[in-house]
Amino acid sequence: FCYFFDFDRRYSAPVSTMKLDRNFIRTTVLGLALFPTQSSHAFNTSPTTNPRSTVSSCSWTPSTSTTSSSSELNMIRNRGLERREEGATPLPGGMTLYIKPAADGTSIGDCPFGHFVRMVLTEKGLDYDLIPSSPENKPQWLIDDYGGKMPALRHRKECYVDSEVIAQYLDFFFKEPELSVGGETELASVAVDGFFPALAKFIKHGGENGDEEDLMKQAVLEERLVALEEHLGKERTGPYLVGSGEQFTLLDCSMAPKMYVMEVCLREIKGNAIDLGKYPKVRKYMDDLFVRPSFQSTVEYGPENVVWGWTSH
């Protein structure tokens, strides 16, 4: 299920750790391109031992390990990039994205991580086939070799899971437009750190709206909104998160579906418990994200599927 998370792993990690994870992703992808191994060039359908999932995957199972999360990166290390005569660099085409389905099992579901990947693909103008996959119709190789985790991007003979891994892979090899800006992301990462886990805990509160525990979870979410409001209030010349705000980045692609979840769930599930009017810069940031063509063309699942996704389990 898309909305249960290992809150004690990536999002509670220090920002320096999260930055290292991103750098490790990019280094791993580059290393595989330059130094492919014998086992890193074929689509492998043999089972992977005890695959772990991540907060950026639509299929999550609890992990008891405290080791830094890198199983998805290990999957890349083990399978690598498809090798071809003209070199290791992947070419456009041949992409299929497997994502969480809606209630009917066949329509596009509301997973913000799958939506994140779709926005990156759309920003880069990359063609892909989209396959919503329920437990009943997932490909057997996806279950056997990748634990059935989604979103999963199969690019010809290779497959990558974990939305951040997929996004970094796409941005590294398909540069136009480039959505990464190196070290400039640190302040923006601090501003959004912990936002989505706080949102998820608030929305998924099992008690009554407005009870003591619910109010505590609301307060934590509002703390994160204050941090984001303050970041967006700093001197900047553009509407986005990183640096001066002029460049739309992977971080914005990641945040857009999550902000949409917040907007819908605050209205439809939480009775407008938080007035976003108190956070005008956050509200404007949301509006700027929501008008981007890459968002509008990938949000066809709509509010009703968001509500179903957050209330059906």
The question of whether 58 is a catalytic residue gets the answer no
**CB 47, CB 145: distance < 8 Å:** yes
Phi, psi angle pair for 128, to nearest 5°: -160, 155
Peptide bond into 177 cis (omega under 30): yes
* Contact of 201 with 265, CB cutoff 8 Å: no
- Catalytic residue (one of 111, 159, 253, 265): 111
The residue type at 215: L
Q: Give the integer Cα–Cα distance in Å for 76 and 31.
A: 10
Q: How do beta strands 95-99 and 129-132 pair?
A: parallel
- Cis amide bond preceding 151, omega within 30: yes
The four Cα atoms 138, 140, 143, 149 give a dihedral, to 10 degrees, of -40
The burial class, CB within 10 Å (0-12 / 13-18 / 19+), for 63 is middle
Contact partners, residue 192, CB within 8 Å, separation at least 6: 224, 228, 241, 251, 255
Show which residues are catalytic: 111
